[in-house]
Structure 1
């Protein structure tokens, strides 16, 4: 009975582990990209229970043990880069002085009314740029209190959970709101003029997730990310992409985005910085991201305290270098390029529709 029970549990966890290997874009398949840490924890506990409860002298005991071990190793392969056991992808900023860019990203949750908590964090950390997701007219009224210190803004208030606002101390150039894939899901694209005169191309994204209440499939989200990736593929200037991507850092789609765009992830080798769900410690994963070109090294990255939303804010400070630094991200091969093109063909959108501000 014990052997059968452990086999059944192992089989279920193995199925959930292998399900995302499918290219099926249905939400109930793609959702299992998210809880890899939780599945790895369950597999580790199951492996321990199997070692304690099974008679290892019986050959049949090694079936669940072997399958559990293989699944645990597979899950670990995805999540280990987001631990301190991995080599850092982005080098720490070691040069004194120099130009820096500090960005605070916060999905505020439209019904949330604790704007005071977010405003207090902004005043405490003094970011150069604040971007909010899910911000509507009510949130815009609260955030406008920042304008004396953040005079450069892009405002797109919406009531559909996809409003966006950017408040910046630094001048913005060629700022544009774009609707890349879905007519009610915006993105913001702008150049940010640094004090030294150089312009950084910044893209703020919040594609809709695959879920039973949003999109039945991940197609729209994946295409939006890959449109931006393809647009940036040959960019030679400084670039930042940030926002709530409604995808985890270790998913196939986000990895493909990094490969095609050539952008770096400062969390690799440092930690997961799980930003969602703020109210459930046992169900958290990294949904809010900042990717950047090799013109930047990292001064700091931190998850900030609760602001009443289901997301924690994230704060990143980057040091700018006029020349690209020697930093190695993920490389795209022919199969990656073919997969990207295949996904892009699923929607009538063109990478040329993605604005290139400041160019």
Structure 2
């Protein structure tokens, strides 16, 4: 029992702090993901330590101290995604009083990583028909998905379609007019991203970025450098925009990781989940291994009307539906995340390293 508890505690303590090692290798970066699971495991370990009667065993004091430190640290990382934290994106509450304004200035976005080998195309079309989003972005789409979704093209006349057979295809559909549409390969020649401007019914143009960088994993890429560099490039560009900005997609990174927080500080964008919940979208089939990989970030110009995780459609990801109201508040400019410490130098080094290699 002593050995089992020591091994268990050692694993939890290592997993809790391994992500602080500033190396890009996948076997380090994967520890960015399971902080909720590690928090639960830490609480279980502490309970077992007390129940097993080891509370007076000073020789094993490192076990409760380490587990408590890990639990506290995981809780600190997760805390912003609980109702205990003030929201970053305020809710627009004057919907009934300003119905015409809402209709002219709102934008509803559905983003879904559908899993390329998934054959539940009718269920995805059903979600589109049910929720009638203004923008639909489908990730991991190949030609089979493009063909299956052709029926929605009548409703979505504005499109940027890049089906690929490498699990990184992107299909972008919009009811709203678009301009300056660009299909870009920022870092890797086979990993696309989207930039376009979408016009709200009121006439306001919104800068929209769709992203899906490659994750660090034993089956995808041995390091996170390319993913991090793509997010850095999008974040730096987004901050330079004077108009409203939305960045959406599967970032293949969790909300609380160093890279995603760096992206927020570089871009100055807000996360609507902060103060509301995790909205964990992956893995859809295993509730005990689930974390937030699919993101929608917005500039200070927006307030939230609705945010919802939709039912699974045969994928390993849950779709996300978000509705925002263009309601700029100049006072919120002061609340934007700002670069700190060596953020700018780190961002430059990530991009240079990715491009050199």
Same fold (TM over 0.5): yes
Partner of 2:59: 60
CA root-mean-square deviation: 1.4
Structure-1 separation of matches of 2:266 and 2:331: 19
Partner of 2:348: 341
Alignment of 1:326 with 2:325, yes or no, is no
Contact 1:294 1:325 in 2 (8 A): no
Aligned 1:28-177 pairs, distance under 5 A: 28-96=27-95, 97=99, 98=102, 99-177=105-183
* Distance apart, 1:60 and its partner CA: 2.7
Contact 1:107 1:134 in 2 (8 A): yes
CA shift in 2, pair 1:233/1:125, >3 Å: same
**TM, length-normalised to structure 2:** 0.94
Structure-2 separation of matches of 1:138 and 1:189: 24
Structure-2 separation of matches of 1:68 and 1:54: 16
* Distance apart, 1:331 and its partner CA: 2.5
Partner of 1:229: 235
Structure 2, gaps ≥5 residues long: none
Aligned to 1:119, what secondary structure does the other structure show? helix
Partner of 1:21: 20
Aligned 1:161-310 pairs, distance under 5 A: 161-310=167-316
**TM, length-normalised to structure 1:** 0.94
Contact 2:116 2:140 in 1 (8 A): yes
Structure-2 separation of matches of 1:230 and 1:245: 16
Structure-1 separation of matches of 2:55 and 2:28: 34
Q: Select between 60-69 and 86-95 the one with higher mean Cα deviation.
A: 60-69
Contact 2:281 2:317 in 1 (8 A): yes
* Distance apart, 1:33 and its partner CA: 0.5
CA shift in 2, pair 1:340/1:152, >3 Å: same
* Distance apart, 1:148 and its partner CA: 1.5
Q: Deviations over 1:209-230 (max 9, x none)?
A: 1111211100000000001111
Q: Deviations over 1:284-340 (max 9, x none)?
A: 111110001010011110100010111110000001124546273433213222222
